[in-house]
Chain A
């Protein structure tokens, strides 16, 4: 019995590792891909190591558009989106999950509507709103719509986490004489850090990879274009330079991966702090 269990456990561990390899494979594949020509990608060598290395794909990508500028725009827009979304969602979810007022369930579900609408459907009205507020030609023209897209989701995740916090915490804070703002920022907010960290990553990536709105809103403004728009320089009416696109995608993805790898340590510690406070 015991050995059977042991074997099963080993098989399970092996499975976990195989699945992990399976998850990491796209990185290697993308890297290989970015060094290949169309012919290699589609016929001669779709999966193997690229040889000879067509590093000129990177040169093409680098010279076709202003990579550092696009990169910076992506970074600013993504950070702006993350900071404001997290701030708004934290406050909103706290008010709808723990504070007592009539209509809070309705308000929460009402805001949840935002999760369900595809960008393509609301694109024209959204751009018109952006124009009305005179945001065209600034980075806010992307940041506000991005916040709107991510807000509902962030609120829902926070709602779940706030609900899980023991009610006695506010009671204790209240007795200690802290006002509601102090209670929220000093006691409650640190407890949902694990959620904040996962949301920061998620929202950042959403903003970082967004293409459709970016193309419409800043596609005609050279100084504001974001990295995902770089692929346009490789997609012709009929043919696409897939290797060049691969290089662009590597340039766009690897910073995110590096940030995540560094950040994931932070994630771990943030989570354990949250847990420790609670325990």
Chain B
């Protein structure tokens, strides 16, 4: 019995090596195809090849393989990556990328890779990652590269602060520019029910009542994700004080300030009125998004990157509104304050990489190409760099409206991934979720947040 298992194991191993061999040659032939998916597997195959080459003959060392840890799942991440890889072939013909797809695991994988010295050459780093890796010198200072590659010249003036960390160094090349939390609504649903766009919370409560009586969810929240509940709190908080959660994160305001207490109270009331679906805290992004796109929910809170998806599903029927406020005066005043903002997230380089200098240049190149692809194919002009590219079709109406509003925006806050205080970040995500669930009171929220901040 044992022998049988062992021998079959051996057989399988032999089969394994032959199959891997076959796979490689098959993929080599498909290398020339520009098909996006074939691209990845081809890259993977050739990267393996390159590795063996490196070890066997170092004198022929023309090809360099750089590993890159980044997202590669939906159109918003695949399109830029594929575009960047294609462009890279011309600009850096000797460089191959070995793609490691990023896991949605709060940085668990990346941190473990760093702790065990296996950090990829290039990786997508969030603010939290940058701050953590900075302490252990596992993230390269890119000041010189940013200068020599012309990155700093291309960086939009408004995004200058995004590139620099607290200590004044550049650790990552950001590709996203300033981003905004938009309050989307389904125009058709509002019109059918004879409703105006709510300006005050009383208007909003009226809308909630009407929608609920029709069996429509007023606002679909994806509250399983802490950032969305934090954003829900922030869009209310910014109506009372323009600092929002950013001021709390930086410690320039306190959760016990009246503005934040009022915001919590308001959100509590809106939740009690039924603004969100009952199971908001266990709803994921796709569930909530589908509710909105299929007309089962009238409103939705998400970043401006959602414009493309919303427009392609709902066309003329979707728009965004300024966040409602306590009264008309603060509604008008609040038009210049948006929740959201930029973050220092971007492509970072492992300083211990064998080809660190080259990796830094490639990281910068990829960042530029990401920006180009986002403008051209994703119709999102809110990127970090001035690419000089035009979109392949007209910008959606919502994006135009946002562009027109941009000059009037005087203050933004932050997305949770841009927050620098990780204790506050964890606290605001879970506490706002409690508030949104309707099972924690505004008083509990304030008291718990006070505890956490101590």
Contacts and interface: CB of A to CB of B under 8 A. Distances in A.
Interface of A: 38-39, 41-44, 63-66, 68-69, 72-73, 75-76, 79-80, 83, 87, 120, 123-124, 127-128, 131, 136, 212, 215-216, 219-220, 222-223, 232-242
Interface in B1-32: 2, 5-6, 9, 12-13, 15-16, 19-20, 23
A238 to B, nearest CB: 5
B5 A219 contact: no
Given A43-B291, A72-B16, A239 B115 contact: no
A238 B103 contact: no
Given A39-B293, A215-B103, A216-B109, 18 more contacts: A63-B37, A66-B41, A69-B20, A72-B16, A72-B19, A124-B116, A127-B112, A127-B115, A127-B118, A131-B117, A216-B112, A216-B116, A223-B20, A232-B101, A234-B73, A236-B73, A236-B104, A238-B305
B interface, by DSSP: helix, strand, loop or mixed? helix
Contacts of A236: 71, 73-74, 76-77, 104
A65 B71 CA distance: 15
Contacts of B102: 232
B13 A220 contact: no
Interface residues of B, number: 54
B101 A233 contact: yes
Contacts of A223: 20, 48
Nearest to B8: A79
Contacts of A136: 118
Given A42-B287, A42-B291, A83-B9, A124 B73 contact: no
A interface, by DSSP: helix, strand, loop or mixed? helix
A63 B103 CA distance: 19
Given A237-B77, A239-B74, A222 B44 contact: yes
Contact of B294 (A44, A69, A87, A238): A44
B296 A215 contact: no
Interface of B: 2, 5-6, 9, 12-13, 15-16, 19-20, 23, 37-38, 40-41, 44-45, 47-48, 67, 69, 71-74, 76-77, 98, 100-105, 108-109, 112-113, 115-118, 120, 284-287, 289-291, 293-294, 296, 305
A123 B290 CA distance: 37
A238 B113 CA distance: 23
Contacts of A232: 73, 101-103
